Amino acid sequence: MRVIVLAGGISPERDVSLCSASLISNALLSKGHEVAFVDVYEGVPEAEANDGSFDLATCFVKPSSGKTFSYSIPETEPDLDALIASHGGRKELIGPGVLDLCRMADAVFIGCHGGMGENGRLQAVLDCIDVPYTGSGYLGCALAMDKHLTKTLLLQFSIPTADWMIFDPKKHTIDMVREKIGFPCVVKPIGCGSSCGVSIVHDESEWADAITYSTKYESTCLIEKMIHGREFSIGVLDGKALPIIEIRPKQGFYDYKNKYQANATEELCPAPLSPEQTEEAQGLAVAVHNTLNLGNYSRVDFILSEEDGRFYCLEANNLPGMTPNSLIPQEARAIGISYEDLCEKLVLSASRKG
Q: Strand 245-249 relative to strand 229-237: parallel, antiparallel, unpaired?
A: antiparallel
Q: Residue 236 and residue 300: Cα distance in Å, rounded? A: 8
How high is the pLDDT of residue 10? 92
- In this predicted structure, which of 172-181, 196-205, 309-318 has the lowest mean pLDDT? 196-205
CA 344 to chain centre: 19
Rounded to a whole number of angstroms, the distance between the first and last alpha carbons of the chain is 22
The H or E element spanning position 240 is strand 240-241
Q: For 253-316, what is the HEC assignment?
A: CCCHHHHHCCCCEEEECCCCCCHHHHHHHHHHHHHHHHHCCCCCEEEEEEEEECCCCCEEEEEE
The conformation of residue 324, written as its DSSP 8-state character, comes to T
Q: Is the pLDDT of residue 219 over 60?
A: yes
Q: Residue 99 and residue 161: Cα distance in Å, rounded? A: 38
- pTM attached to this predicted model: 0.89
233-280 pLDDT, tens digit each? 999 999 999 999 999 876 655 444 444 445 667 899 999 999 999 999
Q: Residue 47 and residue 102: Cα distance in Å, rounded? A: 13
The conformation of residue 121, written as its DSSP 8-state character, comes to H
State mean pLDDT over 317-335: 91
How high is the pLDDT of residue 272? 97
> Mean pLDDT of all residues in the chain?
91
Q: How many CB atoms lie within 10 A of CB 180?
A: 15
The conformation of residue 76, written as its DSSP 8-state character, comes to S
Domains present along the chain, CATH in parentheses: 2-135+341-348 (3.40.50.20), 145-161+227-318 (3.30.470.20), 164-225 (3.30.1490.20)
How high is the pLDDT of residue 191? 76
Q: Residue 281 and residue 300: Cα distance in Å, rounded? A: 10
Burial class (CB in 10 A: 0-12, 13-18, 19+), 336: exposed
- In this predicted structure, which of 21-30, 59-68, 144-153, 187-196 has the lowest mean pLDDT? 187-196
Q: Is the pLDDT of residue 211 over 50?
A: yes
Q: Is-cis flag, bond preceding 270, omega within 30?
A: yes
How high is the pLDDT of residue 231? 95
Q: What is the maximum alpha-carbon separation in the chain?
A: 65
Per the model's pLDDT, the better-predicted residue between 279 and 322 turns out to be 279
The three-class DSSP label of residue 203 is coil
Q: Residue 27 and residue 21: Cα distance in Å, rounded? A: 10
* Percentage of residues of the chain with pLDDT beyond 90: 76
Which residues, in sequence order, are CB contacts of 132 under 8 Å at separation 6+?
106, 107, 108, 126, 350, 351, 352
Of 110, 23, 22, 145, which is closest to residue 346 (Cα–Cα)? 110
